[in-house]
Each structure stands twice: as C-alpha cells, then as structure tokens.
Amino acid sequence: MKRSVEFWLWPVGLLLCVSGLFGACDEMPERAYSLIQLEPINDVSEEGVIVKAKLLSGSSASVNEFGFVWGTAPGPAVDKEDKYVINEPFVEGVFTRKISTLLKKGEIYYVRGYIINEDYISYSNEVAFISQGSLAPEIIDFFPKTGNIDDTITIVGDNYSYRPAKNVVDIGGHPAKVIKACQDTLRVIIPNTLDSQSGQVGVAIYGHKTSTDESYDLVLPLVNAFNTRQGTFESEVIISGDRFLSHPSSVKVYFGEHEAEITHHTDQQLTVKVPEALNQRQCPVSVEMNNQRITAGLSFTLDPLIITAFTPRVVLTGQLLTLSGEGFSPLPQNNEVKVGGVTVEVVEASLSELKVKLPLQDNVIYPQRQVDVTVKVVNETRVFADQVVINDQWFRLADAPLTENKTGYSQGYTLANCFVWQDKAYIGLNNTTEWWEYAPLKGTWKRLANFPGIPRRYGAGFSKDGKVYFGTGNNDRKGELSDWWQYDISTNTWERKADFAGEKRSGAVAFDINGRGYLGTGHIWRTGNSGFPDFWEYSASQDA
C-alpha cells in the first residue's frame, strides 16, 4: 500500500513530512520524490474546467503516474475519486489539461495534482471551483463487433471515469457491467439479457450519453435439419447445423415452447430428448443461442395414441384401474382419463401404462354402473372397446335439482314429499311449490307444473291410478290446512278436490292399498298437541 505525501517548499534541501502511520516523518532523498503545485483555476465552462499545474522538480525514473484528482469533498484521493492521468513523459515545467467529464453543474469540486512513484502518492495544494457542467463521454470505436452474450468487449474513446460503476454502459438498451475502466478505455461484459441480434453500444455519465452508429452482433446458430421427424415422448432427435459451441451454455432446444434436454453437444450436432411436457401433436423445432431462436423449418410429430386394454374389468370406486397402450405421456397430469365422463386421477404414468384411481361416489356422480373408459393425450382421444363395471353396493344417482326458497336462493330438500308411479318418482311440495319427475332408467330430472296450493310443510298424500293425491300440512300464516289436491301425471295438471273431512293437521301418514287411499294420525304444529288417532279412507271416484 502506498502512503500519501504532503509536500512543502523549503529553501535549499527538501524535507517531506509523511502523513503515514502515527504521523511519523521520514527524511527522503530529494531525487526520489517530485513536487507539484496547482495554480488558481480561472477557466470554468459548460464543457468542463482547465487545470494548470507546475512540476517543481523530480526524477522521471521514479514516477509511475501523475495527473489530477477531483471530488466534491476536500482532500480528494486517487483511490477514492475520479482522476485524469497525463500520458506524457514526466518533465519539469507547467502542464495544462481540460477536465471534461464527471462534473455536475452547480457542484463545488476540490482538485489536486498528484504524483505516484514506487513508494508514495504525492499531492499538490488544493483548489476549489464551482462546476458549470461537462461533456458527454466519447466513443471512438469498440471491438470485437461480433460475439456472444457474456463475452467481453473493449470500448475506446474519451471522458470516461476510472471508477467502473460511474460509466453507465448499455448494449441494445440492456445494462452492461463495466469490469475495468480508465479515462479512454472501458472493458465491458455483454449482458446476458440482450434479446436482439444486434445492439448499439451506449455510454452515459451523469445523464450525458453517447451511442455508436455500429452495432454489436450476436453469433447465431446455423440449423440445417434433424434426423427424426416423428416419435414419442423422450425419443432422441439429432439436430445438425453449425456454431453450436460458440456459446454452449446459452444453447437451448425447443419443441414448440417446451425446452428439450440436450444429451450430447458438438459444434455441428445436438442430440436431444422430446420433452415430456410436449402438448402439441405437431410442432416446430428450434435452437436458441445468445437468446436468439432459429427454427429448423421442419416439424416434429408425436406418434398416434394407441390403447389396448385395462384391468380389472369390474372395479369399486376408490380403487385403481390400470390402462395399457402406447403414446401415453410420462407426466401424469398430461393424460386425461375419464370413466363414464367423470375425470379420474392419474396416479402413475409411463409411455405404455397408466394407473388411475376412481373417485368415490360422495364426490362425483357416475351416469350408470357400466361405462366407457376414455383417454386423451395431447388432443388425441381414444375409447376402449370394453366398458368397466362399477360394482359398489350402493350406486349414486343424479342429485335432485335445488329448490328455490322465498328469498330466491337455491336450497336443498328437507322432508320432501315423494311418490312413485310405475317407473318414475315425483318429488317436491315441502314448503315449496316446485314439483319434479325423476326417471331412474335415464337418470334425468324434469320439472313439472307448480303446485297451485298454499306452500306447506308436513303435508301427506299417496299415488294411485296414474294420479298423485296430496294435502293437509302447516303454513306459517295459515296454520294447519285441510285442502286436498289431485295431480294428473298424464296431463301434468293439478286440480283441487274436496277438503280432508277430518280435523286440520300436520304430519299425517298416507298410503294406498289395493287401489284405495288412506290418511290418518298427525298433530297440530307447535301446540303441544299429542296427536290424532283417527284414520280415513279416500274414494277418488266419489271425491269423498
């Protein structure tokens, strides 16, 4: 580490007081050190400042570097602030230089002359001035003009800072790191974010920017062809071309937008695997280097999907089903398997086999017990010739449609009234006017004519001779009811009949036996009534 020397003029004989450790002073031979004295500054303009200094004595053999150093705080030092190096022989006399960079308008700067020899850094007296600004950096040339991202280029010019970070360099608008700097030369790394083939070189200091007319050009790969134009996932494809080793770490291969694994790499050949995540049957193949993609001009096509069999043929929900074939995706999520139209989970996948798990019936509804099994891989769908049988002891049917409550919101059913006639069921009425038909053989629901009576809870009824009879129950405002209604299944119409002859009630029991209908028991809602013991027979022909 060099020590700084402050110097003073003495008559005959020079003593240098070294401001080193503990303020110690050393006596040095006059021939080994040089003196520099700064003159007052009078010439400050928008282009910079002219600084004049006088070399009082010295030996050129002992001087390694000399020039000016300046900063916004008193006592600028060459290892901390910007400097101007005089690249001329060191001789006694006056030397003048114009500092044209790194000066902000309106700032007060302190400038000193300096001399560096083998052991010491010597500084002159200090002069302050108010800056009026400075010039933009100048670019004379840069080289090389062709290369790769992460390569290093040299920029030659003027008005650069010796502090690398103060030189703001960009290539094609992308920030570039300066690794070495002096007043006329910069060493710069080409940014790995450069995404265009060509980019102008720009240097800026304190908002003053200069750009080149010439551009830095990235090396592009040359792609000729590839040997395999059809295959399956993980198939090997050989791509031929040139310049693949110009920047090997930046080389990537894409099938569509999916990156492929490179297993072998030479300057003229790339061996890659078809990506597992490929989601196109046919796609272009491209090679990327230096962030530039080159397409081979040919397409790769996946082999057709082939299915052969599945086991077991009879299965319970929650169990596994194994599917065999060719052309499955090795990524489970890229295989879509449906059982009876219900999407099932693929838990294991390979090119030739899929293991899928059928969801339980508390989560899904299967249309029927014997259903198709379909597989879809990359937009190609196949249906197995055989059907799978779902052998659960209980089999879930289609849910009843939600009813609409008084506020217009959908809700489920509570104690709904249900009647059966022949191969269909009829449901609804409990505190709603909705009336539905369910066809078990088709698994379908159909909305019928609304119940025209007062909505109620705990009504009762029965079905006979193609008709449904219904009545009694409780309404919040009307209390217990005794009205009696007939629904004609064939005409989808409601008709009011003679009221129930007994006392009004809720929660009665009703049924039919041998073509005759019966209704009885029940109670008064919310009164503590212990219930009715009476029982009644209804004659549909006499409506009594």
pLDDT tens per residue, range 374-416: 999 999 999 999 999 999 999 999 888 876 665 555 566 778 8
Closest by CA position to 397, among listed 336, 321, 340: 340
Closest by CA position to 64, among listed 114, 111, 6, 3: 114
Contact 141, 156 (CB under 8 A): yes
d(CA 46, CA 103): 9
- Going from the C-alpha of 277 to that of each of 98, 206, 256, 355, the distances in angstroms are 63, 49, 11, 18
Closest by CA position to 217, among listed 231, 201, 230, 205: 201
- 116-120, 129-133, 300-304, range with the lowest pLDDT: 116-120
Residues β-bridged to residue 311: 322
Q: Is 458 left (phi over 0), alpha (psi -120 to 50) or beta?
A: left
Closest by CA position to 411, among listed 427, 419, 423, 400: 400
Closest by CA position to 288, among listed 209, 197, 210: 197
SS3 content of the chain, % helix, strand, coil (to 5): 5, 50, 45
Residue 499 DSSP label: P
144 half-sphere exposure, CB direction, 13 A CA radius:
9
Closest by CA position to 124, among listed 102, 101, 95, 161: 95
Contact 507, 516 (CB under 8 A): no
Residues across the chain: 544
| Predicted local distance difference test score (pLDDT) of residue 486 | 98
Name the token pair of 123: 């500084």
Position 127: which residue type? Answer: V
Position 473: which residue type? Answer: G
Residues β-bridged to residue 128: 110
| Predicted local distance difference test score (pLDDT) of residue 216 | 97
d(CA 14, CA 200): 54
Position 48: which residue type? Answer: G
Residue 451 DSSP label: P
d(CA 214, CA 461): 94
Average pLDDT rounded to a whole number, residues 244-268: 96
| Predicted local distance difference test score (pLDDT) of residue 33 | 47
The answer, yes or no, to whether residue 23 has pLDDT greater than 80, is: no
The answer, yes or no, to whether residue 97 has pLDDT greater than 60, is: yes
pLDDT band at 14 (very low <50, low <70, confident <90, very high): very low
- What structural domains does the chain harbor? 3-130 (2.60.40.10), 138-218 (2.60.40.10), 222-302 (2.60.40.10), 306-390 (2.60.40.10), 412-538 (2.120.10.80)
* Rg of the chain over all Cα atoms, to the nearest angstrom: 47
The answer, yes or no, to whether residue 246 has pLDDT greater than 60, is: yes
Name the token pair of 3: 């020590």
Average pLDDT rounded to a whole number, residues 173-198: 96
d(CA 171, CA 102): 21
pLDDT band at 529 (very low <50, low <70, confident <90, very high): confident
Contact 233, 330 (CB under 8 A): yes
The answer, yes or no, to whether residue 261 has pLDDT greater than 80, is: yes
**Highest mean pLDDT range out of 26-35, 164-173, 412-421?**
164-173
Average pLDDT rounded to a whole number, residues 243-272: 96
Question: 266-280 pLDDT, tens per residue?
Answer: 999 999 999 999 999
Average pLDDT rounded to a whole number, residues 517-531: 87
Q: Is 167 left (phi over 0), alpha (psi -120 to 50) or beta?
A: beta
Question: 308-333 pLDDT, tens per residue?
Answer: 999 999 999 999 999 999 999 999 99
Average pLDDT rounded to a whole number, residues 62-89: 91
d(CA 61, CA 42): 32
Question: 432-451 pLDDT, tens per residue?
Answer: 899 999 999 888 999 999 99
The answer, yes or no, to whether residue 26 has pLDDT greater than 80, is: no
Percent of the chain exceeding pLDDT 70 equals 91
Residue with token string 């409506």? 543
**Beta-strand runs (E) in 72-167:** 82-85, 93-99, 108-117, 120-130, 138-143, 146-147, 152-158
d(CA 353, CA 329): 9
Position 458: which residue type? Answer: Y
d(CA 21, CA 3): 9
| Predicted local distance difference test score (pLDDT) of residue 512 | 93
| Predicted local distance difference test score (pLDDT) of residue 416 | 87
Q: What is the dihedral of CA 524, 530, 533, 535, to 10 degrees?
A: 20
Name the token pair of 114: 């300096």
Residue 60 DSSP label: G
158 half-sphere exposure, CB direction, 13 A CA radius:
8
The answer, yes or no, to whether residue 373 has pLDDT greater than 70, is: yes
d(CA 113, CA 36): 7
Is pLDDT larger for residue 523 or for residue 412?
523
pLDDT band at 118 (very low <50, low <70, confident <90, very high): confident
